[in-house]
């Protein structure tokens, strides 16, 4: 099962949108509905969804045009997109994927298939939104149990983290070796609609390092001057190789 995700349904047929919303709610997600591409863009201005389900044939701006618009915007280019359509020709599928969609599902489809496609795009694009365990260099976070552990040899030790520090560590570990700005971390960990000072990130990074320091892992959260923060195990791996 995935962690609860905000899923924006862009569908102009109320009965189909309602059915999709009910199935997503039953699976533990939070559906948001928009009847057109223009309405979807207004919603996205306020809150970034975790996944977009976009009908190809929309009034006004088409689903394909909406997908292209979202991929061209730095703020929305990373949101997973699944196109919903009655078109089944290979050329149509290629056109949808070329527009930036992550997946393409042909109507009619079963709720199980849709949920499986959602899980798949989240694993690829937003691994921090799944409940799969993430492990790097002996350090692991398990979203299903909300536990962080460090294993060295046959010994394991639990790391006590506050809720925000846990989410921060999970996100950083799910995207290792990448530099994340404070603004990006605020969007991904706190939420795009939350308005707080960027320096708040520094406070929580400090708390996270203090917790990781208990298992000598504080150095895995690096400060990249003028850019942000990065989770890395490269220095540790290099040191181990030198010692060997």
pLDDT at 140 over 70: yes
pLDDT at 131 over 70: no
Of 129, 147, 167, the residue that ends a domain is 129
The pLDDT mean for the chain works out to 84
- Residue 1 belongs to some domain of the structure: no
Pairing assessment for the beta strands 81-85 and 51-55 based on DSSP bridges: parallel
Q: Which residue has the higher pLDDT, 131 or 172?
A: 172
Beta carbons of 91 and 118 less than 8 angstroms apart: no
62 closest CA partner among 93, 78, 33, 38: 38
**pLDDT per residue as tens digits for the range 161-207:** 998 899 899 989 888 888 888 888 887 787 655 567 888 899 999 99
Q: 66 lies in which domain range?
A: 6-129
Note the pLDDT of residue 63: 92
Q: Which residue has the higher pLDDT, 140 or 130?
A: 140
Residue 232 CA to residue 177 CA, distance in Å, equals 5
Q: Let me know whether 95 and 174 are in one domain.
A: no
Note the pLDDT of residue 19: 92
Banded model confidence at residue 111, pLDDT cuts 50, 70, 90 = confident
Banded model confidence at residue 235, pLDDT cuts 50, 70, 90 = low
pTM over 0.85: no
CATH number of the domain residue 77 falls in: 3.40.50.2300
Residue 244 CA to residue 238 CA, distance in Å, equals 10
Q: Let me know whether 115 and 188 are in one domain.
A: no
Note the pLDDT of residue 1: 42
Mean pLDDT of 104-127: 81
Contacts of 232 (CB under 8 A, 6+ apart): 176, 177, 220, 222
Q: What are phi and psi of 191, to 5 degrees?
A: 115, 140
CATH number of the domain residue 236 falls in: 1.10.10.10
Note the pLDDT of residue 244: 47
Both structure tokens of 198: 């960027």
Pairing assessment for the beta strands 228-231 and 179-180 based on DSSP bridges: antiparallel
Q: Let me know whether 161 and 99 are in one domain.
A: no
CA distances from 151 to 148, 214, 220 (A): 10, 13, 15
Q: For the chain, what percent of residues have pLDDT higher than 90?
A: 37
């Amino acid at each position: 099962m995935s962690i609860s995700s905000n899923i924006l349904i862009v569908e102009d047929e109320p009965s189909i949108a309602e059915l999709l919303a009910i199935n997503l709610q039953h699976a533990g997600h939070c559906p948001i509905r928009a009847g057109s591409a223009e309405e979807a863009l207004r919603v996205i201005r306020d809150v970034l969804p975790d996944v977009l389900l976009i009908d190809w044939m929309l009034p006004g701006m088409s689903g394909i045009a909406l997908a292209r618009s979202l991929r061209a915007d730095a703020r929305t280019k990373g949101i997973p997109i699944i196109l919903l359509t009655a078109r089944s020709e290979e050329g149509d599928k290629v056109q949808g994927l070329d527009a930036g969609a992550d997946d393409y599902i042909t109507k009619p489809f079963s709720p199980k298939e849709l949920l499986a496609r959602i899980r798949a795009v989240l694993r690829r694009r937003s691994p921090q939104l799944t409940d799969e365990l993430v492990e790097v260099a002996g350090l692991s976070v398990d979203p299903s149990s909300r536990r962080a552990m460090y294993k060295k040899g046959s010994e394991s030790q639990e790391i006590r983290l506050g809720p925000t520090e846990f989410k921060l560590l999970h996100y950083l570990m799910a995207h290792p070796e990448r530099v994340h700005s404070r603004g990006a971390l605020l969007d991904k960990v706190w939420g795009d609609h939350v308005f707080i000072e960027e320096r708040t990130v520094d406070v929580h990074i400090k708390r996270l390092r203090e917790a990781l320091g208990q298992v000598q892992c504080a150095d895995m959260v690096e400060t990249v001057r003028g850019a942000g923060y990065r989770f890395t195990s490269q220095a540790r791996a290099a040191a181990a190789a030198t010692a060997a």
